């Protein structure tokens, strides 16, 4: 059994998918969790995002959308509800071999509709990819505008005293 503790991968396993494979966005399944773990923690080890444990991913698998190429997961993003009027786009990651194909946008856009269906008027993200999220209609705000996020997550984050992420919001 794999340990639920964070063990950053040095590199991602080679994909067995041709570059021209058809890409689909779908809801994540339990069987996708090991690949989610690899992709997310590959970027976490580089300092690009926060790590996730297997335990966290299994507990939140229903919140994830994945990009699927011929049955192999090559990207992911999730919606995390923070409060009655606020949800966060989290864990957006695309395998390096599949970047530059619009997958990030295709993973995030369904989260807009999902939040609207839940009656959530505002999405936010904490990110290092300001340009990407700006193109999706997010705008920068001070982190203090997100007190529920700070109270729930930031107070226990290992980056708390040296956080380099930018807070961004988008009204739906």
Instruction: Tell whether the model's pLDDT for residue 14 goes beyond 90.
Output: no
* Alpha-carbon span 110 to 105, nearest angstrom: 9
In whole angstroms, give the CA distance from residue 25 to residue 95: 14
> Which domains are seen in the chain, by residue range?
23-171 (3.40.630.30)
Q: Which residues pair with 16 in a beta bridge?
A: none
Percent of the chain exceeding pLDDT 70 equals: 85
The confidence band for 84, taking pLDDT boundaries of 50, 70 and 90, is: very high
Model-level pTM? 0.86
Between 139 and 151, where is the model more confident?
139
More confident residue, 54 or 1: 54
Q: For residue 16, what are its two tokens?
A: 């067995």
Q: Is the pLDDT of residue 154 over 70?
A: no
Instruction: Name the more confident of 164 and 92.
Output: 92
* pLDDT tens per residue across span 38-72: 999 999 888 888 889 999 999 999 999 999 999 99
| Coil vs helix vs strand at 57 | helix
Query: Is 155's pLDDT higher than 60?
Result: no
Q: Which residue has the higher pLDDT, 153 or 120?
A: 120
**DSSP E strands: which ranges in the chain?**
23-27, 64-69, 72-83, 86-94, 122-127, 139-140, 166-171
C-beta of residue 106 within 8 angstroms of C-beta of residue 121: no
pLDDT digits (tens, 9 = 90+) for 92-150: 999 998 999 999 999 999 999 999 999 999 999 999 899 999 999 999 999 888 866 66
- pLDDT at position 152: 60
């Amino acid at each position: 059994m794999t340990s639920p503790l964070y063990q950053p991968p040095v590199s991602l396993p080679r994909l067995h998918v041709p570059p021209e494979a058809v890409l689909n966005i779908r809801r994540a399944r339990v069987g996708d969790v090991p690949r989610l773990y690899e992709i997310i923690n590959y970027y976490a080890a580089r300092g690009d995002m926060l790590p996730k444990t297997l335990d966290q991913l299994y507990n939140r698998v229903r919140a994830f959308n994945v990009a699927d190429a011929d049955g192999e997961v090559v990207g992911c993003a999730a919606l995390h509800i923070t409060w009655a009027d606020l949800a966060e786009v989290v864990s957006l990651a695309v395998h390096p071999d599949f970047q530059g194909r619009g997958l990030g946008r295709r993973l995030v856009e369904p989260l807009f509709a999902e939040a609207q269906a839940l009656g959530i008027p505002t999405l936010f993200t904490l990110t290092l990819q300001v340009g990407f999220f700006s193109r999706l209609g997010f705008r920068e705000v001070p982190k203090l505008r997100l007190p529920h996020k700070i109270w729930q997550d930031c107070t226990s984050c290992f980056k708390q005293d040296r956080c380099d992420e930018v807070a961004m919001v988008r009204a739906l």
